[in-house]
Chains A and B, each alone.
Chain A
Amino acid sequence: MIDITKIRKDFPILNREVNGKPLVYFDNAATSQTPQQVIDVIVDYYSSYNANIHRGVHALSQEATDKYEQARITIQKHFNIAKSHEVIFTSGTTHSINMVANGFGAFLSAGDEIIVSALEHHSNIVPWQMLCERTGAVLKVIPMNLEGELVIDTYKELLSNKTKLVFCNHVSNALGTVNPVEIIIKEAHKVGAAVLIDGAQAAPHIKADMQALDVDFYTVSAHKVCGPTGAGMLYGKEEWLKKLPPYQGGGEMIAEVTFEKTTYANLPHKFEAGTPNICGGIAFAAALDYMNAIGFKDIATYEEELLEYATEKLLTIDGLKIYGTSTNKTAVISFNIEGLHPYDIGSILDKLGIAVRTGHHCAQPIMDFYKIPGTVRASFSFYNTKEEIDVMVAGVERARNMLM
C-alpha cells in the first residue's frame, strides 16, 4: 500500500494553484512531476561537483564521473540489463530511436521490410520513413482494432525473411494500451528480425526486464519517470551495439584519431559523443531510486485503482465515450463527449486548474482510425488521488453544461 499523503509532500509543484484553483495534474503521460529528492540531486550536482567527466584528473571530474557511472549501473539494475555498457545515455527516447534508425541503414538493402505498429507516436514513424527513403526498404504497419489493441494475427502474417526490424511502443501514449511485446519480440526473432521497443510510456508504470524480454533495443525518457527532461537511455544488446555504426562524431567516442583514420571507443562511449547531460543522467538514476523505494508493484496496484475509479465516474457523464478500451492498459483515459470538441473541454478544465492534454497526442493515424479530431486525455500517476478525479469529473460535467 502506498502512503499517498507522504508521497504528495515529496512533490512541491502539487501545492501550487492554477487560475486560482489547486492544481490537478493529469498530464503525466506528457511529462511526470519531479519529487524533492530528485530536485535535491540536481541542485547538489551544480552546487557541489559540477565538472566534465571522463577526462579530467582533478577531484571534481573524478567525482562527477563516478556518480555518472554509478547512475549507469542503477539504470542497468533497474531494467535487469546484463552489462552496464549496454546502457547508452541519450537525451531521451527520440534521440535513442534516431540513433538506431540512423545506424540500422547499414544492415538494410532495397526490398527489406521494417514493421511498425499503428499505435505509434507519429514523430516516431518519421525516422523509419526517412530510413526507408534512404535504403529502399519498405514500411509495413501492424493494424489496430476498435479496442485500441494491435492485431497480432496480422502481425504474424506481415513477418517474413524480408523483415529486418520491428518497431513498436510498449504502451501507447494516446490510448494507454499495453502491447504484447513478449509475443512481438518472440515472433520477430523467429524470422531473424531485430526489435526496438519504445518504453517511454511504459517506464512509469512497468519495470521492464531486458533479459526476460530478450529485446534488442529499448528506449526510455527520464522525464516520464519523475526525472528531468533531456535525459534518457538506449538499451541495446551488446552484439547489436558493436555492429551499429556510431550516430555522431565528436569527443569521447573515439579511441585514436589521425587524419587517415579514427578508431571508435568501446561501448558505451562509441555512442556518447561530446559532453553529455551529466546532471540529467545522475538525476535519472535518482528518479528510478525514488520510484523503486515506493515500489512498482504498489504503484501499479494504486494506479489501476485510480483508472477503474475514473473510468466508472467518467462513464456516468451523458454522451462521454472512451477511446482505448483494452483490458490491458495503463492509467490513461482518452475520451470525448458527443457533439463537443476536445479542445473546448480542455480549455474549460484548464480554467478550473485541471491539466489534461487535448488534441491528437502526436498520434494522428490513431485519430484518423477513429475518425475524430482528437481526444481529451487524462493520464494518472501514483501521486494523484481519487479526490482529484472527482474534481475532474465535476469539471467535465461543468464544461459539458457550458458548451451544450
Chain B
Amino acid sequence: MTIDKIQEEIIDEFSMFDDWMQRYEYMIDLGKSLPLIEEEFKTNDYIIKGCQSKVWVHAKLQEDKLVFTADSDAIITKGIIAILIRAFSNQKPQDIIDANTNFIDEIGLKEHLSPTRANGLVSMIKQIKLYAVAYQTQLK
C-alpha cells in the first residue's frame, strides 16, 4: 500500500472518534502493541532529541524498502510512533522522502499535543526522513 493510502486509512480511523478520550485510548492501545526495538539499539546513537520522553528509532534496509523499529519510555509517545511507523515503514526511501505529513494535522495530533511534544513529533518525522535520505544515497 502506498504511503498516501495508509495515511487516508489512518485519517478515516481517527474520524470515528468523538472525543480526545477515545483518541488517546486508541493511541495508548497502539503504543502497547508497538513492536519493540531491539535492546542493542536503545542507545544514545538512536535517541531522538526534542522529546520530553525518550524515543529511539532504528532503520534498516530490506531489499529496496526501509523498515523502522522504535520505542519510547512513555506510552502515548509510543502510540504516536506506532502511527508514524505504520505510515512510513516498509516503504521505498524515495517515497518516504517525497511523502507529505499533513495527516498529522488531520488526525488532530499536532493540534492536541503540547508544544514540547509537538516538537518531539516533528523531530521524529525529521529523523525518519533523514534515514530515508541516507539510505536513498546508499541505494544509488
Chain A residues within CB distance 8 Å of chain B: 19, 340-341, 343-344, 347-348, 350-351, 358-359, 373-374, 402-403
Neighbour of A343 across the interface among B20, B24, B25, B76, CB < 8 A: B76
Asked if B54 and A373 sit within 8 Å, CB to CB, the answer is yes
Q: Let me know if B52 and A359 touch, CB within 8 A.
A: yes
Query: What's the Cα separation between A402 and B25 when bound, in Å?
Result: 7
Given known A-B contacts A350-B114, A373-B73, A341 and B28 have beta carbons under 8 A apart: no
Residues of chain A lying within 8 A (CB to CB) of residue B28: 402-403
Give every chain A residue within 8 A of B25 (Cβ-Cβ).
Answer: 402
Residues on B with C-beta less than 8 A from A350 are 114
Task: Tell me which residues from 14 to 59 in chain B have a Cβ below 8 Å from any Cβ of chain A.
Answer: 20-21, 24-25, 28, 52-54
Query: Does A341 contact B53, Cβ atoms closer than 8 Å?
Result: yes
Q: Are A341 and B20 in contact (CB under 8 A)?
A: no
Name the distance in Å between B72's Cβ and chain A's nearest Cβ: 8
A348 touching B24, Cβ below 8 Å:
yes
17 interchain pairs, CB-CB under 8 A = A341-B77, A343-B52, A343-B74, A343-B76, A343-B117, A344-B53, A344-B74, A344-B76, A347-B114, A347-B117, A350-B114, A351-B21, A351-B24, A351-B112, A359-B52, A373-B54, A373-B73
Q: Are B53 and A403 in contact (CB under 8 A)?
A: no
Smallest CB separation, B54 vs chain A (Å): 7
Q: In the bound complex, how far is the Cα of B50 from the Cα of A359, in angstroms?
A: 13
Any A CB within 8 A of the CB of B83: no
Residues B24 and A341 in contact, CB atoms below 8 Å apart: no
Query: At the interface, is chain B mostly helix, strand, loop or mixed?
Result: helix
Which chain A residues border B125 with CB–CB below 8 Å? none
B75 touches A (CB below 8 Å): yes
Known: A343-B53, A343-B76, A343-B77. A351 touches B114 (CB 8 A): no
Shortest C-beta distance, A357 to chain B (Å), equals 10
Given known pairs A351-B20, A373-B54, A402-B28, the reply for A341 and B75 (CB within 8 Å) is yes
**B contacts, CB < 8 Å to A:** 20-21, 24-25, 28, 52-54, 73-77, 112-114, 117
A326 to B49, CA, bound (A): 34
> Which residues on A sit within 8 Å (CB–CB) of B24?
347-348, 351, 402
Q: How far is the CB of A365 from chain B (nearest CB, A)?
A: 18
With the chains together, A19 CA to B25 CA distance in Å? 17
- B74 and A341 within 8 A (CB): yes
CB-CB < 8 A to A344: which residues of B?
53, 74-77
Closest chain-B Cβ to A400's Cβ sits at a distance in Å of 12
Look across to chain A and name the residue whose beta carbon is closest to the beta carbon of B25.
Answer: A402
- Pair A373/B20 contact, Cβ less than 8 Å: no
Partner of A373, one of B21, B53, B75: B53
Question: A244 → chain B, closest Cβ, in Å?
Answer: 37
Q: Which residues of B contact A340 (CB under 8 A)?
A: 75
Residues of A within 8 A of B113 (CB): 347
Q: Please name the residue on chain B nearest to A398 by beta carbon.
A: B21
User: B74: which A residues are within 8 A, CB to CB?
Assistant: 341, 343-344
User: With A351-B20, A402-B28 known to touch, is A341 a contact of B73 (CB < 8 Å)?
Assistant: yes
Taking the nearest CB of chain B, how far is it from the CB of A351, in angstroms?
Answer: 5
List of A residues within 8 angstroms of B112 by Cβ:
351
Query: Chain B's nearest CB lies how many Å from the CB of A345?
Result: 9
Identity of the chain A residue whose Cβ is nearest the Cβ of B113 in the assembled complex: A347
Q: In the complex, which residues of chain B have a beta carbon less than 8 angstroms from the beta carbon of A343?
A: 52-53, 74, 76-77, 117
Q: How distant is B79 from chain A, measured CB to nearest CB, in Å?
A: 10
Q: Which residues of A contact B52 (CB under 8 A)?
A: 343, 358-359, 374
Which chain A positions have C-beta within 8 A of B114?
Answer: 347, 350
The minimal Cβ–Cβ distance linking B86 to chain A, given in whole angstroms, is 20
Closest chain A CB from B110 CB (angstroms): 14
**Which residues of chain A are near B53, meaning CB under 8 Å?**
341, 343-344, 373
Q: Are B54 and A347 in contact (CB under 8 A)?
A: no
Query: Could you tell me the distance in whole angstroms from the C-beta of B65 to the nearest C-beta in chain A?
Result: 31
Closest to B79 in A: A344
A344 to B112, CA, bound (A): 14
